[in-house]
Structure 1
Amino acid sequence: MARATVGCKRQEMADNLSADLSCPICIDFFSEPVTLVCGHNFCKDCILATWTQSGQAGGISCPQCRQETGRLEVKANRLLANIVEGFQRLGRPGAAEVPLKCSLHHQELRLFCSDDLELICRACSRSEEHRDHSCTVVKDAYEVCKANSIQLLQNRLKEYRETHTATGLKISKTLEHASCLQDQMVAEFAELQRFLQERERALIQRLKGEAQAVVSQLVANMALISTRCARIEQALEEIQSMRERTQLLKEIKCILQRCDLHSKPVLKTPKLSVGEFNGPLQYTMWKQMLNIISPAPAPLTLDAESASLGLVLSKDHTMVKGRSKLKELPHNRKRFSYYGGVLAQQGFTSGRHYWEIDVENIGEWIVGAAKESVDRHSAVALTMPNGFWVLRLWNGNVYGPQHAVESDCCQNANLKKVGVCLDYERGQVSFYNADDMTHLSTSTDRFTEKIYPFFLPFPKMVLKDNEALKLFHLKL
């Protein structure tokens, strides 16, 4: 108890002495202390800077007692400087810090710059670099800097941990999604393999059956030929054994009739159906596979009621191109009145669907899919937030649904046919080069209403008959 009391008193004395050895202006230990006429002490730099900033031509006063002096007169207090230096050397009880010096001004680093997060001296604080910065004495900056740094690091650590957790979840979801896609791919290939295997077994069975029938007929022919050979051999023996002329001439007719000489030795034999088993087998199977392919190219038709007045449709509604003059038609809320677009008659609310568009003969175009509720009468951007998922050819470049300056499919500017695949449940719209099914881009969203194929041709100034978007219909 007594030791604690003594320790408290020592600490109090040290604090009081520290206050007595501090400059009233900078609230830090005296640096090159000077004494004014009134007897008050200040750092030399502090008092000179204060008087210079005051801008008074005369009547300079002490900042502490306001006693005036007629000139900038200060007297170095070497005794006080020695006391401060000794106190700093001894330090407070329990402390053993060695004062740090500024490498530029060779003064003690007594201030902390909160802007640059570094220790500085008084001369640095008045420099151009730190003049407008927030500077605090070291003893006051310690706790604030420590608390702020801890809070900053804790917040950032929390962000990193949350990001780490989110990344882990994303990894799990990605692996799960990849597994589902793999299962789907395996199932689809298995279905194709099962179809081919069934067709292979059926075709082999037919080949074996036909071959067996041909062989059976050939075996029967061989038996018939053997029988006829035996009759001829017997007739030869009979004729060779006859010595009397009258007997040979009398029986020759009957002998030859038994040999059935009017029948040809070469019999009509059956043949395998070579054309069925050695024809374009793979192409035949490919055609038959179209019955099980899903999704196969959908035979879409264009919806005339949604077509802009600046468009003209073919009679079968499978081709659309621009017209030189707007056609006068009754108002229709389904019609695109701002953009020169048109929808397909077919819309989808579930399942997977695929369609292809021939774009070879038109210079610029937009194709894709759109919600049924899209704004058809305003200058809205044809982007995902507005219900459009499109691929476009503009100025010779192909752009994806985000309309970025660069996209993954810009190298496919010479597209002749575009494929669009809609997966309603997965919320995906994918685009392909339909010639080789190279993937161009995919957009993911959440579908809650009917989705329609969307088409928008950009005709040139001089219209040509073949400059049109054409819906591809697979004909076999």
Structure 2
Amino acid sequence: MSYQAPPHGPLPGSEAEGLVWLPPSLDSPERCGEHEESLSMFCLDDLEPLCKRCAAASHAGHRVYLSNEAAIDCKEELRTSVNGLNKKMIHFKQVSQTCEHTSKYNQASAKLTEEHMKTEFEKLHQFLREEEAARLLALREEQEEKKRAVEERMDRINQVIKSLEGKIQLIEEELNAGGNGVQFLQEYRDKMNSTWTRNWKPKNICRPLIDVAKHLGNLRYAVWEKMKHIAAYTPVTLDPRTACQSLRVSPRLDSAQIIPVASQGPEETTVPANPERFHPYSCVVAAEGFSTGVHCWDVEVSDTNNWTLGVAARSLSRREEFEAFPEGGLWCISLRDGEYRALTTPSEILHLDDSRHLNRVRVRLDWDGGMLEFMDTDTNAHLFTFRHCFAEKVYPYFESISVGGSLALLAQNLNISVGSNYAPVEDTVIATEDQVVKSESSIEKKVLPLQ
């Protein structure tokens, strides 16, 4: 295709004089700047428009298409890319909403936790205030008692002093009277008898002292020991982060129950789907995991007619369905449809007396010995024992699908043992003349749960 320029001069039919026709600019975006041809081709390899001469000369072997066809394909490819970007944007928005939801949930959870924490500390403060008031009252009562005893003794002594002063005054008056002779001697016996006081002497020791040691001896320890009666101790506590969304864990983290759908609350208060949380099963594990030692805990199960108790391996999948048997990382017993079972492979029926209903179950884990034992807490009757060589940390496991009932961990009594790590003097380092030999001893208080 050849290009011919029109003759110079005004355009034919032009009404304006002095206007001349000029050729298209060489750098026009629709024409090739080198060959002055229209950009009718498109190189897919270099992603640039071309004229036919450029396509033949410098883009030989490339994928070259007509511009109108290439535009259709490129638009379709851009639409596909935009769709991918939209999907990615939606995903990022969902993640952003999840983060925002988690932030709101954490804010609400922190506020609720703060309120419960203040309540618990207020109970401790109230106990300490009452204990302080009681001990100060006991001190004041003893002070008043000792004061009355001292005052009574002082009254008796003052009476004796007054009596002695009267006798002394009478005798001194007789002596100063200057009497002598037979009359004085006749009255001498009576005068001497009046000075007789049964050889009684007051003691200089004042015994009614306040027993300071009774009030201050091991005061903080005595108050702490008494405080254990109001401070419930459970050997394991539930971890709310692992509870299925249908489960509600109590503020003291010692019980869990199913939440009716109608009372689950608005979206901002629903629990996030964090990786630690179980789904879809209504279960929860304890915050404490065990990888050694012997551990024991009691669970109240009388309020629910559908429960599962035991231990779960740390590797147990939490965000998908799983089978409740030892090969899957669960060692449990359960109550289903009025039947007690040990969840072995296959499951075994626990043959209990027809009149026997479990109210409390004791779970005893001997991790090193490879034994998990279940007992009836009320009767100490054996229910079932799993024997397994544990190879990873396990967590106490609780599951319930009974609406209206709850699984509750029971508080345990405490034994307090007092020991000493006293080091003999001969085992200490000998000090120089400018040093003082220091021997340290401390009282170790161990709190052990009754089993």
- Shorter-chain-normalised TM-score: which range? 0.3 to 0.5
Provide the TM-score with structure 2 as the length reference.
0.43
Structure having the higher helix fraction is 1
Larger Rg: 1
